[in-house]
Structure formats: structure tokens, C-alpha cells
Amino acid sequence: MFKLVKKILPEPFEAKTAFSKTMDEMASADENVIYLDCDLMASIDMTEFAKKFPTRAINCGIQEANMIGVACGASLIGLKPFTHTFGPFATRRVIDQIYISGAYGKTNIKMIGSDAGVTAMYNGGTHMPVEDMGLLRTIPDVTLLEPTDSVMMCDLLRQIKDLDGVYYMRVTRKVTDQIFEEGSTFEIGKALTLKEGSDITIITSGCCTSDVLHAHEELATQGINAEVINIFTWKPIDAEAIINSAKKTNAVLIVENHNIINGLGSAVCEILSENIPVISKRLGVPDRFGEVGSMEYLKETFGMSIADIVTAAKELINKK
Amino acid sequence: MDNLNVFSADIRKHTLRALLAFGGGHVGGCMSMTEVLAVLYGEVMKIDPTNPSWEDRDMLVVSKGHCGPAVYATLALKGYFPVETLDTLNKEGTILPSHCDKNLTPGIDMTTGSLGQGISCAVGLALGLSIKNKDNYVYCILGDGECDEGQVWEAALFASTKKLSNLIVFVDWNKKQLDGFTSDICDLGDVEKKFEDFGFFAQTVDGHNVTEIISAIDKAKNTTDKPSLIVLDTVKGKDCTFANIPQNHLIRFGTAEYDDAIAFLDDKISKLESEL
């Protein structure tokens, strides 16, 4: 069960702090939890963890391919490996290792890719994963998660610890807006209806959720009643929630911090076109590379700002 | 040790039986590694063929996964599954696919086939055992051509940094890869020295001499602070009468070639048994 915060405000800490705190709790409670990183422990606040759990915090050095293989092997001894590196290197650099040693081999790894999309900000195009989910979406048996805030991230971390299989979670390390009250829990594979509405469905994920909720308020002032659905499990996707909402609104806008090709929008449109082909539009990174900039600059540049969401929603409604 | 030589020859025979059922396959690389398989499954490894997933077993990752048929022959001869199953190699629905698959074949400890990945998984197994304070060994067989892959050297650096002395890696140094000689395609130079430089206790032995292989494993087990690497100096296509050709990585063959090869191996086994 989840509960929305009454007012959206930035979390009073960086997401990486919540991540390391939860990893510490899990490793303290479960001696099978191990953590592997590619020389980015300090970047995600795991230095103290490494001191506290010297045999279970494994710094592989800058060698992502080997890290995935080592994690897969260690899982066969009954360990519960979490891996971390930046999103591009956690996915596109090791796609074959994830495919063969991970999913095809049916091993158990929990992969964390940090700095999802525009949250990479000033690390720029080389470090800005806008394709990570799309790459992994084509691999069978991989579960893809994008937490909405730290409350959800920590809940999902605790859940996937004990689940068999290959999981990829794209996260931000930075301060994010809090969407859910502390104590909220989430069911992997189930979409969340954050706002009920009848004029249009807006489906979103990750850091775009806050923008969509703000857009929802703006649309309401203009007399538009938007339904807001948060899909944090990109795969397996909650088709039923998408279909039911589309039946009600007949228009679906998807807003994502990812390339619109093979991202959340693509996944949603696949469901729509095969079940209820209503009019739809994808807002996100329009098939281009990342670049340096603030999140606000990047969202505006890519056409996924709050203003862009409001405009797109109204245009879509007009096309119904 | 003669019984291990008989076992090795028998693995060659049964590998060819499996490959014949499909009309051919990776003959060269299978034939070059049967002695080490005989040593591991006939003498060295702690295993229980009646319980392939026994938690206290030693494990083998055949990183050169395309040589699965030689491993399948070994496992069948050890009783992991009936020898007749070898005739289903690569048939639809088989438990014996061309490349090793732990989810299909009893006794296969890790899925391999994308070269370079198996050694990382073996390192992970060794790391896991070390974290769990278990004293089992993890063995891994690399192809020499496979050592072109950068991941092999990532894994080597990692294993030595973490002092994984429960890891014993073999390189089947048969000097050839699919397209020709490794020295022409991607020259590995001195394999033993390279692994030594990467922090391994490294040795080179005659890969067709079971006594030398056993002795090298003994020395490896006495090394306490680093992983071990044993270069197996081998001949690609060894003891297979129709494999003594330049391109012997993948050979298609029929009953005539098979009968000839089996006659040779039967003769070899007879001689070995008469000396027992």
C-alpha cells in the first residue's frame, strides 16, 4: 500500500544516502548479501559499507564485464549479489554478460545502474543512460525497475534481495522529490494510479513523476481531469492497468526519462496497439544523445518539461 | 595412471559418438582436452554423479563452452546420465546442446558459450566459496583462442587481487583457433608468463600427460595465496585419425571416418589395458 505525500518537496537527503543505508541494513540482517562495484563506491556513498563489511563489499576495479560474471558465479553459491556502476556501463557495456551469464544462465543478480537519464547532468553524454532499459527490455526474464523516489527504491531493494532472477534498477544518486509517504510499500509488476481522471491518461516513471504530478495540477486549473499512472516496473509491464485506463480516457501520454525508442512509451504503445489502439504520444529523450547540463536545462532541451507535458496533454485531448 | 589414459581415450571415443550423431562438430578442441577431463573427473574433483547439485562438490566451468560434447562424454561415462543420451546431441529438445548449459545438463556447473565469460563466473564461484568459508575447489578450462577476450584478463586481475587460491584455471594451449594459428591471428605470446605477471602461480605441462597434470594440480593446491594457472600444451585434434588437418576446429564427418578413429582408439585402449 502506498500513500502520496500531501505536498511534493525534495527529499532531505541524496538518494545515494538512502541506498547505502538500506544496503547496510540488508547486509547486517542477511550474511548472504554481497555488494560489487567498479571503482564507484565513493560515488554512491558505499565507502563506510565497505569498511563495515570488508569481505562482502567487493571492489572489482574498472571492469564491468568481469563484475557481472563474478556476481553470477557467486550467486550459485547462495550469495545475493548486488552490483553497481553508472547506468551506461551497467547495461550497454555488459549486455552479453547480462544476457548469457545472467538471464540465459538463470543466475541471480541485482544490478543497480546509477544516474538514470537526465540525472547524470554534468557527466554528460558519455555517462547519461537514455537507452539502458531499452537494451535490457529485449532480454527474456529480466525485471526492469525504475523507482519513483527513495521511499520506493528502498522498499524495492529489500524485496529483490530475496527474489531469484536478474533484476536491473536504474536510480538517481541525487536529491529527488519525495512522492510517497514513509512506510509505503509497492508490488513489483503493478502500476500505481496516483491520480484518477477521465480526460487523458498520463503514464510516467522515475524523476518524471513529480513533473507529471505538477502538470496534473496545472491541467486541473484548466479544467482537464488527467489520470496519472506511475509504472515503476517497466518489465513485466502491467498491461491490465494500461488497458483499463485507456478504456476510460481514450488518450495516453507517456513521459519518461529515456529514449522514446524502446523505452516505457514503446512498451505502453505495444500494449495499446494490440489491445485498445487509442491515440498516444511519447515524451522523453527524442532519439538523441545526452549532453551536459542541469536537469531543468536537459528536460527543456529534450522537450519533457512540465510545460511540454501540459501542452502535449492538451494536444492529445484535441485529437481524440 | 594408465586407467586415466584409458578414461581419456574413452572420452575421445564417446565424444566422437556424440558428434557423429549430429554429423560433426568441434572435434579439434574436444580432442585436445580429454586428458584434463579424465584427470578432473577420474581422480581430482570431489563429485557425486548421483547428486550433481551436491553443495560440497568441486566445480568445473568449461569456459570454452563449444567443447561441451567432450564434457558430456565425460559426464555420461561417470554416470550423470545414460551413455545413450550422447546420441541426442543437438537434437531438438535435447539435454545436450552444442554449448554447455547448466540448466539442461546434469553435471554442468555453469552455462558458457560466449567466450571469456566462463572464467568470470568461475572466479565468482571461487569468491563465493571463499566468502562462505568452504574449502571446495573451482576449476576452469579456457581455450587459448578464448584468451583473445579482454574479459579473461579482467578476471585474472580480479582473481589474483582477491587471492583466490581455490581457483585452478587451465588453458588448453592447442595453438589454434577457428581461423588458424593463434600466433597469426592474435598472438598470446608466453601464456604462462602472462598469467604469472597477472598474479597467478603458473605452470606449463604436457596436456596429454595425466601424470604431469595431476602433479601440477597438486602443486597448485599447495599454493595458498594466489590462484593457479596450468597451461596444457596440447595438440588440437589429438588422437583423432581424421582430425590431423589444417582446419580442424569444426569438422563434419561420417561413419567411415568415425570407424577409423574408433579403431585407432580401441587399439590404444587395448594396449593401455594390457599394461595395467
Task: Determine the pLDDT at residue B137.
Answer: 98
Q: Do A66 and B158 touch (CB under 8 A)?
A: yes
pTM here is 0.96
Which tens digit of pLDDT belongs to each residue from A196-236? 999 999 999 999 999 999 999 999 999 999 999 999 999 99
Q: Where are the domains of chain A?
A: 13-179, 192-319
Average pLDDT, chain B: 97
Give the pLDDT mean for B159-188. Answer: 97
**For A248-281, how does the pLDDT look when each residue is reduced to its tens digit (9 = 90+)?**
999 999 999 999 999 999 999 999 999 999 999 9
In the predicted structure, residue B2 carries a pLDDT above the cut 80 = no
Cα nearest neighbour of A97 on chain B: B117
Write out the three cell numbers for A312. Answer: 502535449
Q: For chain A, which residues lie within 8 Å of any Cβ of chain B, measuring from their own Cβ?
A: 34, 55-56, 58, 60-61, 63, 65-66, 68-79, 81, 96-97, 99-101, 104-107
Work out the minimum CA distance from A79 to partner chain B, whole angstroms.
Answer: 7
pLDDT, mean of residues A83-91: 98
- At B33 the pLDDT is 98
In angstroms, the CA A296 to CA A310 distance is 16
Would you call B169 an interface residue with chain A, using a CB distance cutoff of 8 Å? no
Q: What are phi and psi of A160, to 5 degrees?
A: -70, -20
B-chain residues near A96 (CB < 8 A): 114, 117
At residue A125, the pLDDT reads 95
**pLDDT of amino acid A41:** 98
* Candidates B60, B131, B161, partner chain A, best to mutate (most A CBs within 10 A): B131
B111 min Cα distance to partner chain A (Å): 5
- Which pLDDT tens digit goes with each residue over B10-47? 999 999 999 999 999 999 999 999 999 999 999 999 99
Class of domain A13-179: alpha beta
Neighbours of B63 (CB within 10 A): 34
- What structural domains does chain B harbor? 2-275 (3.40.50.970)
CB contact under 8 A, B103 and A72: no
Q: Determine the pLDDT at residue B275.
A: 85
Rounded to the nearest 5°, which phi and psi values hold at B67? -95, 25
How many other C-beta atoms lie within 10 A of the C-beta of residue A178? 21
User: What pLDDT shows up at residue B276?
Assistant: 77
Domains A13-179 and A192-319 in one fold: yes
Q: How many CB atoms sit inside 10 A of residue A292's CB?
A: 15
- Confidence at A137, pLDDT banded by 50, 70, 90: very high
State the smallest CA–CA distance between residue B139 and chain A in angstroms.
13
The reply to whether A48 belongs to the active site is no
* CATH classification code of A192-319: 3.40.50.920
For the stretch A273-301, pLDDT in tens is 999 999 999 999 999 999 999 999 999 99
Q: Identity (one letter) of the amino acid at A258?
A: H
Residue located via cell numbers 594457472: B229
What is the number of residues in chain B? 276
Q: What is residue B1's predicted lDDT score, i.e. its pLDDT?
A: 62
Mean pLDDT over all residues of chain A?
98
CA–CA separation, A22 vs A10, rounded Å?
19
